[in-house]
Amino acid sequence: MAAPREPLGAVEAEGSSGRQGNSGVEVVVFSDPATPAPLCPHGPTLLFVKANQGKEETRRFYACSACRDRKDCNFFQWEDEKLSGARLAAREAHNRRYQPPLSRSQCVERYLKFIELPLSQRKFCQRCQQLLLPDDEEKHRKHQIVGDISITQLKRPSQLLYPLENKKTNAQYLFADRSCLFLVDLLSTLGFRRVLCVGTPRLHELIRLKASGDKKSNIKSLLLDIDFRYSQFYMEDSFCHYNMFNHHFFDGKAALEVCRTFLQKDEGEGVIMVTDPPFGGLVEPLAVTFKKLIAMWKEGQSQDNSHKELPIFWIFPYFFESRICQFFPSFCMLDYQVDYDNHALYKHGKTGRKQSPVRIFTNIPPNKIILPIEEGYRFCPLCQRYVSLENQHCEHCNSCTSKDGRKWNHCFLCKKCVKPSWIHCNICNHCALPDHSCTGPKDGCFICGELDHKRSTCPNISTSKKVNKAVRKQKQRRSNKMKMETTKGQSMNHTSVTRKKKRRERAHQYLCS
């Protein structure tokens, strides 16, 4: 199978949801069920609204759920836009063209043939990211080929495939062994027998490796991921090509049924969902999707279990705590720092530039989750959970308050613990970085106003950029049209120049304050 002609991926979730200062873009979660969203190659699109503060303009539009870079999927349609039959047909053809070249069952067939081959004939094309059958070799003659693909290699596709790191597409950050082994052991200690892996290909393969090597731990795993390359390595019952931002199964009902059967087996007993979505702001659509998976699991429950919740691990940066808990109030955040192989920033200990900001959010009682003592985690009897070494119990807050793993200090004026680098500002009347500017927009993020991160790491940056770009492009098209019609188009350009200048000034103010 050829690599998809277009990256089928989502972005390092630099999402679009939530408030975003004064010209934010939000997902409209509760769109009208009577008008289904138009489709892009990644399934149903999402409805967005660009809310301009102080302006009434709230024209809504559809855009791709998965790709936050227009280069990857350029779908754009105003909600009230009527398309001609010809355009609709062209769109359908486009959507078909961008589907993977092989069906799920064709992939399985190829896989079965591949494992029958003698070692010397088992080849993998690095350029095309594809296992080759003897008939394919001619086509890949000039490509970089790896030979002698062993069964062990086939069992670890995340090491054979290169990670689709592009932040604007898949944002594939693979767990470091330390974290992945910790998760597998934890799942087994907690007694789970089935793991629904949503966007966790490396965890999926490690669970399966462990299950095949160790009779005692016979945990089953089903991977749902948008990265189609993985379909070469798994049978239908262990991989579904899936978009977690719109709960779309690319292979239709058959794949949906695979997922349903997996969740509902043994009346839903012994199953957990583990997800590590691209980091970012599309928390709402993710929450909507996870609620659909929860509902699917619930359908298989007997009546007397109706109070039970599907156990979930949602792996995400700590600064999304309030957003996640808004949608899942029973979740709490664990102190465990999840780290990644191919992410310089998110590595544990001294080799990484920083401590990883990525945590596990879960509805499993935290006192059941033992964090590794040898890595410095300790049990806080008052909080009834394991915490980081430096996360000290604050007697005033009555809790171990640190979120980022450093020791936080209690501020009596703010009546809460704050980051060690913050001091109380009497002008702003709250704690902030010493060099913050007391006037102007609050310090913290220039884009969304949140205090716990900067513009450069804002989870909201990319989509707002992309969508703004989409809206700008649309406007540009109209302005070009106007230019052609009236020959005066200067005023439009003028405003955009002033706006740009203003934005630059604001950025300058922010960077230098």
Q: What residue 202 binds from Zn ion, ligand SAH, none (CB within 5 to 8 A, per partner kind)?
A: ligand SAH
Query: Which of ligand SAH, Zn ion, none sits in contact with 417, Cβ below 5 to 8 A by type?
Result: Zn ion
Minimum CB distance to Zn ion smaller for 62 or for 346: 62
Inter-CA distances, 418 with 318, 385, 397, 421, 431, Å:
15, 20, 11, 8, 7
Q: Which range touches ligand SAH (CB under 6 A), out of 168-176, 364-372, 455-463, 489-497?
A: 168-176
Least distance to Zn ion, CB of residue 282, Å: 13
Rounded to the nearest 10 degrees, the angle between the axes of helix 252-264 and helix 283-299 is: 70
- Exposure string for 28-62, b = 16+ CB within 10 A, e = fewer: beebeeeeebbbbbbbbbbbbbbbeeeeeeeeebb
Residue 225 in contact with ligand SAH, rule: CB under 6 A: yes
Residue 301 C-beta: closest distance to Zn ion, Å: 34
- Judged by CB under 6 A, the chain residues 388 through 427 that form the site for ligand SAH are none
Name which of 128 and 288 has its Cβ closer to Zn ion. 128
**What would you report as the CA-atom Rg of the chain, rounded to the nearest whole angstrom?**
25
The least distance separating ligand SAH from the CB of residue 338, rounded to whole angstroms, comes to 8
| Residue 84 exposed, middle or buried by CB count within 10 Å (0-12, 13-18, 19+) | exposed
Judged by CB under 6 A, the residue of 10, 132, 283, 447 near ligand SAH is 10
Residue 173 in contact with ligand SAH, rule: CB under 6 A: yes
Q: Does the footprint of ligand SAH cover residue 251 (CB under 6 A)?
A: no
Q: Give the contacts of 480 (CB within 8 A, at least 6 positions apart).
A: 489
Which residues 190-219 are close enough to bind ligand SAH by CB under 6 A? 199-203
* CB nearer to ligand SAH: pick between 172 and 388: 172
- For 323, 335, 337, the CA distances from 316, given in Å and listed in that order, are 11, 12, 10
Q: Please state, in angstroms and as integers, the Cα–Cα distance from residue 86 to each residue in 164, 204, 316, following that order.
A: 35, 43, 42
Q: Spell out the residues 6+ positions from residue 304 whose beta carbon is closer than 8 angstroms to its own.
A: none
Question: In terms of CB distance, is 42 or 385 closer to ligand SAH?
Answer: 42
**Residue 242 interaction partner, one of ligand SAH, Zn ion, none, beta carbon < 5-8 Å per kind:** ligand SAH
CB of 196 to ligand SAH, least distance (A): 12
CA proximity to 174, closest of 182, 184, 166, 165: 165
Contact 192, 270 (CB under 8 A): yes
450 interface partner picked from ligand SAH, Zn ion, none, CB below 5 to 8 A per type: none
Each residue 433-462 as x (binds ligand SAH by CB under 6 A) or -, in order, gives ------------------------------
CB 33 within 8 A of CB 91: no
State the binding partner of 431 from Zn ion, ligand SAH, none, CB within 5 to 8 A by kind: Zn ion
* 9 scored as a contact of ligand SAH (CB under 6 A): yes
The full 3-state SS of 458-491, as one line of letters, equals CCCHHHHHHHHHHHHHHHHHHHHHHHHHHCCCHH
Residue 296 interface partner, choices Zn ion, ligand SAH, none, CB cut-off 5-8 Å depending on type: none
From candidates 61, 124, 242, 313, binder to ligand SAH by CB under 6 A: 242
Query: Among Zn ion, ligand SAH, none, what binds residue 10 when CB lies within 5 to 8 Å by partner kind?
Result: ligand SAH
Nearest distance in Å: CB 267, ligand SAH: 27
Please identify, using beta-carbon distances, which residue of 316 and 446 lies nearer to ligand SAH: 316
Which of 196, 244, 312, 432 contacts ligand SAH by CB under 6 A?
Answer: 244
Q: Does 221 bind ligand SAH (CB under 6 A)?
A: no
Max distance between CA atoms of the chain, in angstroms, equals 77
Q: Strand, helix or coil at 91?
A: helix
Block residue for tokens 């301009």 = 52
Q: Contacts with ligand SAH in 272-301 (CB under 6 A)?
A: 276, 278
Helices (H), 236-340: 252-264, 283-299, 321-327
Residue nearer to Zn ion on the CB measure, 248 or 347 = 248
Residues binding ligand SAH (CB under 6 A): 9-10, 66, 170-175, 199-203, 225-227, 242-245, 276, 278
